[in-house]
Amino acid sequence: MLTEIENYITPMSKLLYIIYNKDPDNIRRLKQLSGYTTQTVYNNIRVMKELGLADIIVVNKIRRKVILTEKGKKIARLVGDLIENLNSELK
């Protein structure tokens, strides 16, 4: 997905990028796309929420969806630009 560059970005940045670009339906799908453990995903979502980068929407009793605030979207766009620039530099 993100090639070898994903080793150089933080889990939170990668999760922001995935939420912004892929818009996963629920947290389980976010975990699958990122490749991180459930604990890592939940810890990073909690920190994102504390920083005001993301909110959690309850879809139904079981499913929850993470959405980005405007601040989170700006950071996700910056991360996306960084990843694209690094990918072009490596080619």
**Residue-level pLDDT at 5:** 59
Domain 9-88 fold: Arc Repressor Mutant, subunit A (1.10.10)
**54 close to 72: Cβ distance less than 8 angstroms:** yes
| Interatomic CA distance for residues 22 and 6, integer angstroms | 16
> Tokens representing 38?
């459930």
Six token digits for residue 74:
């700006």
Give pLDDT, residue 10.
82
Q: List average pLDDT for each run of 10 residues in the chain, which is 91 residues long.
A: 61 89 86 90 91 89 88 91 81 69
pLDDT at res. 1: 47
Pairwise CA distance, residues 33 & 28, whole Å: 9
Local structure of 63: helix, strand or coil = coil
Predicted pLDDT at 2 = 52
Tokens of 52: 């005001």
* Residue 27 pLDDT: 87
Q: Where are the domains of the chain?
A: 9-88
pLDDT of residue 59: 83
Task: Kindly list the distances between the CA atom of residue 46 and the CA atoms of 17, 33, 84, 85, 91, in Å, as whole numbers in the listed order.
Answer: 16, 18, 27, 29, 36
